[in-house]
A = this chain, B = another copy of it.
């Protein structure tokens, strides 16, 4: 398969493929002379992954390169997850580092309450603290008791994620699948939450409209099993 085939199969312009090769996102093909290089099925797959991570996952080219570099290393699942997590952008600018630090206590408290064991160097600790700081400054305090139910949901989601990963037979591409589950399921969860918000809001509005604010509140989830 030559570069024009790769372009046609993946729907990516040749110039863009060359760009990805230059940037190290796409491994070089097998050169067969000065003006011919062959590419394989793995390049098609890699190209699809690159497009998905950048367009859908919203990763920058640099972050994508880091993630791809991570999944090309043969590591155990935990290490792979760690490397993928580290490659993610968690922009916390240094200017407000001290204000973020205040929130770190709350983060530690939450982690302790959940019994979560998380590396002290995890960038996500600071990312969470930064978000909490923003919320606090906007007048929406989220304390441990507010966050706990969300954390339980996150834990349940993580269990689903890892269940899926455990059932993958292709051990060679486990890291790739891990990256996909971590990064491409994220927009899925976000959009599911928004869809659920619309429905839930509709249910509650309907209740408010029919009862006019008086009387006992009916179960807004009929036949829902909860």
Contact = CB atoms under 8 A, between A and B. Distances in A.
A48 B200 contact: no
Interface in A172-217: 177, 180-182, 184-202, 204-205
B81 A116 contact: no
Contacts of A127: 187, 191
Contacts of A200: 155, 158-159, 161-162
Interface of A is mostly: helix
How many monomers of this protein are in the complex? 2
B91 A154 contact: no
Contacts of A188: 128, 131-132, 135, 142, 147, 150
A32 interface: no
Given A56-B130, A131-B184, A180-B138, A124 B158 contact: no
Given A124-B198, A158-B193, 10 more contacts: A52-B134, A52-B135, A56-B131, A78-B201, A81-B197, A127-B191, A138-B180, A153-B153, A153-B156, A190-B190
